[in-house]
Structure 1
């Protein structure tokens, strides 16, 4: 297995978990919060997708799916188009109210773009420096693993919240 295949597998596992956390829930359930300041499933999945879209687009040198494919307009959130959820407060989390098809549709579009990008990577590409603001500078391989780690953390949180919601039914 080469690195591109390994990355493809990792991003594929995230997709499975995203769909598992979202499918079968209503827009109201996706927006439900276990306490007034908790993150909702909808916000968590939107945020992890925005981070993946933002970070992969940057290293790949292409436009974000969010804006280039019109997802920003379809979601119609009260945030600037460049918002990824980083630094959002409780009111921002509450503003993310979307249906499951819209949420997984955006995720799938980002997933497809991500897989198209990683499929083209050669082993040597992963050593390319993509961010010199850190010490040591961040390589492409480290950035992609960072995205995978962030996505897994947030989709795990979404799955946990889903479990709590389903127990209340």
Structure 2
């Protein structure tokens, strides 16, 4: 007996997307295979490694633990939604500038998990970062460069928030509007 496809619609990285999928498709596979966003990695298929971590409705989740149909109408952010090559996000800059990766396979999941941490705790200690990393396994590093990268990203985010807003008023003939 054939399984009937179900339409799943999400807002992912600010764009509305939908596709018909089998009800048993995991969200990680939906993102990678149906939406062609391959930054979300699948490392273990058992929810142990965290390489597939993303943000769904404001919460960090392992996308291999959720069915795509459960995410219908959800707001999702993947690593592709953080920034671009020409405009890196503070998290991406932190990892770039502090060498917070080696092979890079776990890095998207680490970044997404740390986005969740910095949302809750914008100035974490090394220990708090290490605790926040407990759900993501990196087999290449000793985590110190990752901790440094997250601390750097936290500083960059704080600096962004403290910069004065750009003055958009127009001055004509000595009169501000």
Range of TM-score over shorter length: under 0.3
- Answer 1 or 2: which has greater strand percent: 2
Using the size of structure 2 for normalisation, the TM-score is: 0.27
- Answer 1 or 2: which has greater helix percent: 1
Structure scoring higher RCO (CA < 8 A, sep ≥ 6) equals 1
